[in-house]
Amino acid sequence: MNNVCIPPAFIFIIGGLLVPFLSGKARSTYVVLLPVVGFINLISIPMGTLMTLPFLDYTLTLVRIDRLSLAFGYIFHIISFITIIYILHVKKNLEYVAGFIYSGAALGTIFAGDLFTFFVFWETLTVGSVMLIWARGTKASAAAGFRYLLVHVTGGLSLLAGIVMMVIKTGSIKFGFIGLTDAASWFIFMGIGVNCAWPFLHTWLTDAYPEATIGGTVFLSAFTTKTAIYALARAYPGTELLIWIGVGMAAFPIFFAVIENDLRRVLAYSLVNQVGFMVVGIGIGSELAINGAVAHAFNDILFKGLLFMSMGAVMYRTGKINATDLGGLYKSMPWTAAFCIVGAASISAFPLFSGFVSKSMVMSAAGNHHMIAVWLVLLFASAGVFHHAGIKIPFFAFFGHDAGHRVKEAPPHMLIAMGLAAFLCIFNGTFYKPLYSILPYAATYEPYTLSHIVTQTELLFYSALAFTLLLLSGIYPAEMRAINIDFDWFYRKPLNAVEALCARIFNGINSVCDLIFVKTLTAQINGFAVNATAKLTNGLLSPILRANAINHGPDEKPPSSQLVPRDVDVEKAFSTGTSPIGIFAACAGLMIVAMYFFA
Amino acid sequence: MKNEKKHMFDNPKNVKRLLAIFFTSVVILFILDFFVHKHAHFPWENWPVFYAIFGFVACVLLVLVSRFILRPLVKRKEDYYE
């Protein structure tokens, strides 16, 4: 087999770097065509390709095409294409370049066949994504970007440590199944876990995603967590710990989402919740479960992207994103509202929408293995996600209390992008066979049984009933102009206080040292070096000088003809090196005498 | 906004109509549940209207816990971190 091909990542990254050379219509055409070219390249690479490259003593595998990597490759191309269309209003080049580097890095990561290539692209992912956060240009985004960077660099270091330990131990850089065995595997596991937004490690996501640019958040929602899902599916399938991590991820964010005011942050929480389902699937590790995780990643990229796009469009038109400032927008943005509802129905897993055919695979796998607690929590999370992402997002933005915004519908390119994503959400939910055909394992699962349709609809309708009754009765928590602290509180407040304390202590020591050594001691030594001889001379000459002063009195001017020793000048003369010959000679003589005695 | 076009839900009748449709479908689903054979993994899935009760109770619990336990713990002013 011919194993040489153009690595998909290169098309995106190199192509992205060329964007600044174009402008106007040419640039728009170029950026839209780039993912298309990438996709054509991808489907022309045969299955099973392993493109290798010798590097030092190792062999890098730049491209590995198998069923697992290809499924992610398809969806990464699709969402890049959609998101690029969505951001065509953006004038600055930065977002396009960062977007392509970021998505290119994601492609590089999933097609990497060795740990070294994997790591390089993994870190590029961080660089590209942080640019999308900083591109917003606000103070909040700058700060959030730095926190994001610190967390990811720490995760990256853990990954690197694990990789180095593993390569030293095994001598191979191949990236395949690892499993939790030794310290090295734990380091890699945790490094991936940071990007996967595991509980306690998730705060970079809910902190930074809502601070990114309108289009940046759409990009972000697609790649970082999903490459982590890919990496887990590749290296840690069937790791039992993942089941419990995933259960935690699915459960806790929904509580935060219910009381969160920033609607993009609500979506960020629900992103963690959805990734939880995928992590559970990988943890279970059966063919059905892995298929479910991959299918759900595929669908989640689309419906979460769609939801972020609809909220971005709202933000673009109204300048607001808090639920307290929104409402009634269905009047002015009906299409955006409709697309948002499609996204909401998909994430809630309504029959005929994409979540229905993928989330249920993970649920079913948990059921097949008789994991009672896991299954119950996931069912709870399914009801909960409908509650906050399915109802809350569309309701508070487009319906509910009319906030009086009378704006234009989203621009055409945004509508096209949302339309494409909405179409795919419905297509995948209704005609699920094409999606099932690209999954890692042969999919025999049948989502459309009468039992599944009725039970799922029942679950959702009664969740909606709870929402309606709670809202009508006034128990439903009113949206408030407030923020909710999360685990990032620990590094934003106490750690900040520790930093302030350290600053106090060390700056204190520093200023004391400065006072003692720099200001006092150095000055004294310096003064001694400069003035010592003068002082000494002055002292020795003092009988003469004093006698002179007594002869004339302090204010009396001596007669000009008389030779007068200028007492006040002695020190000055020494410090400037202009002492009279006589004094200099006297000093030299005294020095010789002193040396005679002391030597 | 007097001259503004009347929108669908500006008319309270339409809101009522929507709610009526919703409540009807809720009742229909409740009845339908008794006639559907379930592919169950667990015994309780065969209990009548298990999913309906679960969905309802889950969401009420979710809202109550979020509002009365979580919010008092984590709510801060908007400029808290500044």
Q: What is the pLDDT of residues A321-368, one digit of tens each?
A: 999 999 989 999 999 999 999 999 999 999 999 999 999 999 999 999
Q: What per-residue string of b and e applies to A433-444 under the rule 16 or more CB within 10 Å gives b?
A: eebbebbbeebe
Structure tokens at A202: 């998730």
Is the confidence at residue A487, as pLDDT, over 80?
yes
Considering only A253-257, A304-308, A482-486, B25-29, which range has the smallest mean pLDDT?
A: A482-486
**Closest CA–CA distance from residue B25 to any residue of chain A (Å):** 8
Nearest to B39 among A255, A451, A465 (CB): A451
Confidence of residue A575 (pLDDT cuts 50, 70, 90): low
Distance CA A130, CA A150 (A): 10
Considering only A269-273, A393-397, A569-573, B65-69, which range has the smallest mean pLDDT?
A: A569-573
Residues in chain B: 82
Answer yes or no: are the C-beta atoms of A257 and A392 closer than 8 Å.
Answer: yes
Nearest to A492 among B32, B51, B81 (CB): B81
Structure tokens at A216: 């940046």
Residues A290, A293, A294, A299: what is their CA dihedral angle, to the nearest 10 degrees? 150
Considering only A20-34, A321-335, B25-39, which range has the smallest mean pLDDT?
A: B25-39
The β-bridge partners of A52 are A61
Taking CB atoms and an 8 Å limit, are A383 and B7 in contact across chains?
Answer: no
Three-class secondary structure of residue A485 per DSSP: coil
Q: What is the mean pLDDT of chain B?
A: 86
Distance CA B71, CA A475 (A): 14
Taking CB atoms and an 8 Å limit, are A462 and B74 in contact across chains?
Answer: no
Q: Say what the pLDDT of residue A4 is.
A: 85
CB contacts under 8 A, A 401-420 vs B, are 404, 406
Taking CB atoms and an 8 Å limit, are B59 and A379 in contact across chains?
Answer: no
Is the confidence at residue A158, as pLDDT, over 90?
yes
* ipTM for this prediction: 0.91
Structure tokens at A577: 């090196």
The β-bridge partners of A64 are A50
Distance CA B31, CA A350 (A): 19
Q: Say what the pLDDT of residue B1 is.
A: 44
Mean pLDDT, residues A66-79? 96
Distance CA A19, CA A16 (A): 5
Q: Say what the pLDDT of residue A247 is.
A: 96
Please write the tens of the pLDDT for every residue from A173-215. 999 999 999 999 999 999 999 999 999 999 999 999 999 999 9
Residues with Cβ within 8 Å of A322's Cβ and at least 6 positions away in sequence, in order, are A261, A262, A263, A479, A481
Which of A280, A274, A129 is CA-nearest to residue A209? A129
Distance CA B60, CA A381 (A): 13
CB contacts under 8 A, A 219-278 vs B, are 254-256, 258-259
Sign of the Cα torsion A47, A48, A54, A60 reads: positive
**CA-to-CA separations, A109 to A101, A302, A440, in angstroms, rounded:** 12, 20, 17
Q: Chain-centre distance of CA A465, in angstroms?
A: 37
Is the confidence at residue A123, as pLDDT, over 70?
yes
Is the confidence at residue A568, as pLDDT, over 60?
no
Nearest CA in chain B to A494: B81
Mean pLDDT, residues A482-496? 86
Give the helix ranges, DSSP H, for A236-371.
240-259, 263-284, 287-318, 334-347, 354-368
Nearest to A477 among B29, B49, B63 (CB): B63
Structure tokens at A340: 């948002």
Structure tokens at A379: 């069912």
Confidence of residue B2 (pLDDT cuts 50, 70, 90): very low
Contact list in A for residue B12 (CB cut-off 8 A) is none
| Total-model pTM | 0.86
Distance CA A454, CA A449 (A): 9
Please write the tens of the pLDDT for every residue from A428-440. 999 999 999 999 9
Contact list in B for residue A466 (CB cut-off 8 A) is 55-56, 58-60, 63
Is the confidence at residue A8, as pLDDT, over 60?
yes
Taking CB atoms and an 8 Å limit, are A482 and B77 in contact across chains?
Answer: yes
Nearest to B59 among A372, A387, A481 (CB): A387
Residues with Cβ within 8 Å of A11's Cβ and at least 6 positions away in sequence, in order, are A34, A37, A38, A41, A104
Nearest CA in chain B to A486: B74
Contact list in A for residue B76 (CB cut-off 8 A) is 482-485
Please write the tens of the pLDDT for every residue from A249-300. 999 999 999 999 999 999 999 999 999 999 999 999 999 999 999 999 999 9
Q: Say what the pLDDT of residue A15 is.
A: 96
How many CB pairs below 8 A link A and B? 149
Q: What per-residue string of b and e applies to A300-332 under the rule 16 or more CB within 10 Å gives b?
A: bbbbbbbbbbbbbbbbbbbebbbbbbbbbbbbb
CB contacts under 8 A, A 446-485 vs B, are 449-452, 454-468, 470, 475-477, 480-485
Query: Which run of H or E residues covers position A586?
Result: helix A581-598
Contact list in B for residue A486 (CB cut-off 8 A) is 74
Crossing angle of helices A67-86 and A8-17, in 10° steps, is 20
**Closest CA–CA distance from residue B8 to any residue of chain A (Å):** 8
Sign of the Cα torsion A459, A462, A468, A472 reads: negative
Q: What is the mean pLDDT of chain A?
A: 90
Can you give the residue ranges of every domain in chain B? 12-74
A286 in contact with chain B, both atoms CB, cutoff 8 A: no
Q: Which of A46-60, A69-83, A374-388, A550-564 has the highest mean pLDDT?
A: A69-83
Taking CB atoms and an 8 Å limit, are B71 and A463 in contact across chains?
Answer: no
Which of A344, A367, A571, A568 is CA-nearest to residue A463? A344
